[in-house]
Structure 1
Amino acid sequence: MSKASTPNTIEIAGQPAVISYVPELGAFRGKFLGLTGYCDFVSDSIQGLKKEGEISLREYLDDCKAAGIEAYTHQEKIKTFTLRYPESFGERLTQAAAEHETSVNAYIIETLNERMKHA
């Protein structure tokens, strides 16, 4: 089973989503970001992604409302810092993020959070 290719982002109904091509499905898979739960959608075209994404997001929001669940994560103030690393590390980092179908920044944050749980 091969991995999905490098993900891209798209905005659907004002909500960002990560889009990857999944060769096994012969289709694109989208996953919304910034939600408290999991919400994804699949289509074989970009137009289809937009349509399916809108449907999936609407259903997710309706389900959250019906269950009394907060649909969106709360945004914290974002801090930045400079990280110096060898070029070869950057290539490995980009590949690892793509394999996890996330951005490099999100992958770094997730990895650091996981390590800090054990500190």
Structure 2
Amino acid sequence: MTKPAKPNTMEIAGQPAVISYVPEIDMFRGKFLGLSGYCDFVSDSIQGLQKEGELSLREYLDDCSAAGIEPYTKQEKIKTFTLRYPESFGERLIRAAAESQVSVNAFIVETLNERIKHV
């Protein structure tokens, strides 16, 4: 069994961002992690991503400051639990997480969060 590929990430002004290629626009898109809102940026090069990311993050932080909004997500205490599942499910889970470009843990949490929203 192979490990899923880690998503492409880079750090811009101390803030992590996930980077993906968007073939429809033939550009790279970055999305900052750990922010309370959505902040992304696009460029056709890695150097451009750095520049556009810094600009986008600065504008996001300025907007949050002007609106009195906390720009960063608050860190919660992490809880753990044991999950038992069939071995065949594990391979499907790893594949689904890799296709979503997140870790298996993040995929499970995101999936459960979506399901809980509808309860």
Structure 1 match to 2:38:
38
Compute the RMSD of aligned alpha carbons: 2.5
Identify the range of structure 1 (65-74 vs 98-107) with the bigger mean alpha-carbon deviation. 98-107
Q: Scaled by the length of structure 1, what TM-score is found?
A: 0.78
**CA pair 49-93 structure 1, distance change in 2 beyond 3 A:** farther
Q: Distance in 1 between matches of 2:83 and 2:8?
A: 23
Amino acid at match of 2:44: D
| Matched position secondary structure for 1:18 | strand
The aligned counterpart of 2:21 is 21
Deviations, residues 64-83 of structure 1 (Å, cap 9, x unaligned): 00011111110012234555
Q: Which protein is bigger by CA-based radius of gyration?
A: 2
Distance 1:22 1:91 in 2: 27
8 Å contact from structure 1 (residues 7, 21) kept in 2? no
Displacement after TM superposition at 1:90 (Å): 4.7
- Helix, strand or coil: the match of 2:25? coil
SS in 2 for 1:62: helix
Percent of pairs with identical residues: 82
CA distance in 2, matches of 1:31, 1:87: 33
What is the DSSP-based 3-state SS (H/G/I as helix, E as strand, rest coil) of the residue aligned with 1:17?
A: strand
- 5+ long unaligned stretches in structure 1: 1-5
- 1:105 equivalenced with 2:105 (yes/no): yes
- Report how many residues are paired: 115
Runs (4 or more) in structure 1 with deviation over 6 Å come to: none
TM-score (norm 2): 0.78
For structure 2, the 5+ residue unaligned runs are 1-5
